[in-house]
Structure 1
Amino acid sequence: MAGRILVLNTGSSSIKYELVDVTTRDRPARGLVERIGEDMGRLTHRAGDGPPYTRERPVPGHGEGLEAMMEAFAAAGPELAPVAVGHRVVHGGTRFTEPVLVDDEVIAAIEELAPLAPLHNPVNLTGIEVARKAFPGVPQVAVFDTAFHRTLPPEAYTYAVPREWGVRRFGFHGTSCAYVSRRAAALLGRDLAELNLIVLHLGNGASATAIAGGRSIDTSMGMTPLEGLVMGTRSGDVDPALAGYLARVDGLDAQQVEHALTHRGGLLALTGTRDMREVRARDDDTACLALDIYTRRIRKYVGAYYALLGRVGAIVFTGGVGEHDAATRAASLARLERLGITVDPALNQMDTTGERAISPSSAEVPVLVIPTDEEWEIARQTHALIS
């Protein structure tokens, strides 16, 4: 089916959107509504190669954010008449392992999964519900972050806890992993089916994923996006006994602890800000310690996944921090020369934003920076389903 697909990537405090024609590779419009729920929101809309159309105003919720997007298309173009709308949905549980056409039953199932991704699934649903009203009769497709990790083996997704709890590891950032793993294979001139990768998606949310032949075999995020690496506001790995300890000592209940680990942990807990750029701009002991904690956790996962994979064809950095923060990339792979992993300082510091290698040409394990394109991946999967 030819035509333009509107991609909605509704995050916890932002909405990224893009109009994509998969058949022609044309991308006539894209934009971002950010700072949702803060005192002043901001919309940046760009039609083709034209100048950005920007507006600042309070955006109290995601419904208002999507309304602002619609107004931007009306004011700055192009005409918004998509043949389908593709939605990023973070958690699909065990039910959704492929993209699906949205209907009332699917919406109910996504809502039931909200306790597993309370920051994301509810706002993902808001995007779906507003788009269904805005584009009646247009197919709505849900693309799930967890679906890429459907290939996790039982020894990777099973927790050593009572079976009756019915919990397991799912993994996230799947659309990003799917996109950058294909691009890594293309950049290296290798067949993805024969390539082992460690993908480091580092942004406000962060994860590490071990990929063998295009299949996820382990990933740092778990049943929810809270587990694993240190993130902007999420703690990542902590002692599971923490909740019981805080209940005994401070009288906190499980919900309060979970909320704190999700919203007040990570870089925010360590430094007072969740923005890596602000942490980098500081030169105090608190910021230095936070950066050491952040990169040490990444390095630990790289070593673990190297051991699981046995051989590694490349390490891939992606996400806002992974793509733009040279110091984090270098520190995350420091002292791994014995594993064939080295970063070339000059290549790493180059002021460029495209796909590139930052390791010496002679390195045993190439280190790549590949800007993720979750919107393209969602559009591609949406197009494949409606076609």
Structure 2
Amino acid sequence: MKKVLAINSGSSSFKYKLFSFPSEEVIAKGGAERVGMPNSIFKIKLANGNEYIKNMSIPTQRDAVSLLIDCLKKYHVVEKLSEIKGVGHRIVNGGEVFPNSVVIDNHNLHKLERIAQLAPLHNGPETEGIKAFMSILPNVRQVAVFDTAYHHTLDAVHYLYSIPYKYYKDYAVRKYGAHGTSVRYVAPRAAKMMHKNINIARLIVCHLGSGSSITAVKNGKSYDTSMGFSPLTGVTMGTRSGDFDPSALQYLMHKTGMDIDQAIDMLNQESGLLGISGVSSDMRDLIESDEPRAKLARRIYINRVVRYVGAYAAEMDGVDGIVFTAGIGEHDPGIRAGIMSSLKYLGLKADFEANRTDGEKFISKPDSKVKALIVPTNEEVMIAREVIKLTR
């Protein structure tokens, strides 16, 4: 039996799951919140259902990792640290430097640090998380698993921007995509539910959450995807604008006096559902709100998803299945219904009764030409599988 940790680090948090292989049973899960901030929280939930929550100071990522290891030993999830065979870390953007998952040594760690600017809100904290685990568990193999790796199958037609080619050659400015680890799990599962061979299926995966992306999967591979050089572009998101005209940004900068860093921060942190609604970046808050702009934000969100689904159905010369996953995709029947209602022209016959509840299932009628499905994502198990693959 091997035990593998899957880690998703943020700037002030990290989530984890500890798996037992080969069963892939989750034997502990939880996370740390508000790391480096007042009122820090650490949670661990065991396989027997017992959950422990600690409210205490957690100044750094290293402190959070130490707390995790202490809890794993305290609650007898592991008796010796040697039982942990590897730690897998989700990294948002590996650029062209990392087309596949890699074992992290000092050389690869240095390369990770050099591409931090490709996803400044993510790569930096994720790299710091790796360093913390390397310090606490020096004899345990660390593996970086890249969201962008799945999208390395994109053709140049889909990943190149229509700007001078030298900027791609000199600086690797291109579409990289994101959420690839999620799509890698969801797409084969959806194909299996549809009794289709993933290698001939045409799927559109709607990973809808605080960060949202739409990915066309053709012949088992990423064919096109909505996020670009960074996770900023594509559909409307919680606080991110999605697609936005750079000339409008230049205009706003001249009018407001924002510099480029402030302007990009505005698009990343103050826009999307939050910016439109003026209420919240959380769909659950928008549902409860009577503010007309909250309803408008939901309508815009639906519209942008429908726009990409239509484009990808055209690119792939049709579609077999529309797959909903992630926080909003799995838990917001109103958003799913709004999207499906606009896709009748594709031959999708929505089952609105089935759509009222969550869980892995079909939400289209049996005679629907295009199937609609909910498939809960499991990025952590994909991360853990990559660790097993690289630590044999």
- TM-score between both structures, scaled by the size of structure 2: 0.94
User: Does 2:360 correspond to 1:359?
Assistant: no
1:276 maps onto 2:283 in alignment:
yes
CA–CA separation in structure 2 for the residues paired with 1:261 and 1:58: 32
1:55 aligns with 2:54: yes
Given that residues 22 and 379 in structure 1 are in contact (C-alpha distance below 8 angstroms), is that contact kept between their aligned partners in structure 2?
A: no
Partner of 2:39: 40
- Which residue in 2 is equivalent to 1:94? 96
Deviations 1:301-341 (A, max 9, x none): 11111101112111111101110110011112222211112
Please list every run of 5 or more consecutive structure 2 residues that lacks an aligned counterpart in the other structure. none
Contact 1:198 1:211 in 2 (8 A): yes
Give the 3 Å change call, closer, same or farther, for CA 84–239 of structure 1 in structure 2: same
Letter aligned with residue 260 of structure 2: A
Deviation at residue 22 of structure 1 after TM alignment: 3.2
The aligned runs of 1:337-376 (5 Å cut-off) are 337-350=344-357, 352-353=358-359, 355-376=360-381
Superposed displacement of residue 127, structure 1: 1.3
Match of 2:28 in 1: 29
Provide the residue aligned with 1:219 in structure 2. 225
Measure, in 1, the Cα distance between the counterparts of 2:194 and 2:121.
36
Closer, same or farther in 2 for the Cα pair 1:47/1:261, shift >3 Å? Answer: same
Q: CA RMSD in A?
A: 1.6
Amino acid paired to 1:243: L
Task: Look up the equivalent residue of 1:348 and give its one-letter code.
Answer: N
Amino acid at match of 1:325: D
Question: For residue 69 of structure 1, what is the aligned residue in structure 2?
Answer: 68
Counterpart Cα distance in 2 of 1:308 and 1:35? 43
> Which residue number in structure 2 is paired with residue 379 of structure 1?
384
Q: Does 2:262 align with 1:256?
A: yes
The CA distance in 2 between the partners of 1:274 and 1:231, in whole Å, is 8
Q: Within 5 A, what are the aligned runs for 1:122-137?
A: 122-137=124-139
1:293 matched residue in structure 2 = 300
Deviation, structure 1 residue 108: 1.2
The Cα offsets for residues 181-207 of structure 1, whole Å up to 9 and x where unpaired, read as: 111122112211011100000111110
The superposition leaves residues 112-131 of structure 1 with CA deviations (integer Å, 9 ceiling, x where unpaired) of 11111011101111111011
State the percentage of identical aligned residues.
39
Q: Does residue 318 of structure 1 match 2:325?
A: yes
CA contact (8 A) 2:215 2:224 kept: yes
Aligned partner of 1:117 in structure 2 is 119
CA distance in 2, matches of 1:34, 1:237: 30
Give every structure 1 segment of 4 or more consecutive aligned residues whose post-TM-superposition deviation is greater than 6 Å.
none
Report how far residue 25 of structure 1 moved. 2.2
The SS at the match of 2:373 is: strand
Q: Hey, what does 2:241 align to over in structure 1?
A: 235
What is the number of equivalent residue pairs in this alignment? 384
Distance in 1 (alpha carbons) for counterparts of 2:339 and 2:41: 33
Separation of aligned partners in 2, 1:319 and 1:168 = 25
1:333 and 1:14 map into 2 onto residues whose CA distance is: 34
Q: Which residue of 2 aligns with 1:266?
A: 272
Deviation at 1:89, TM superposition (A): 0.8
Structure 1 residues 48-70: Cα deviation after superposition (integer angstroms, max 9, x where no partner): 12311112345455344333323
Provide closer, same or farther for how the CA distance between residues 37 and 202 of structure 1 changes in structure 2, counting only shifts above 3 A: farther
User: In the TM superposition, what whole-angstrom CA distance separates every residue of 1:152-199 from its partner, at most 9, and x where no partner exists?
Assistant: 000100001122323100000010000001111221122110111000
Structure 1 distance, partners of 2:47, 2:187, is 27
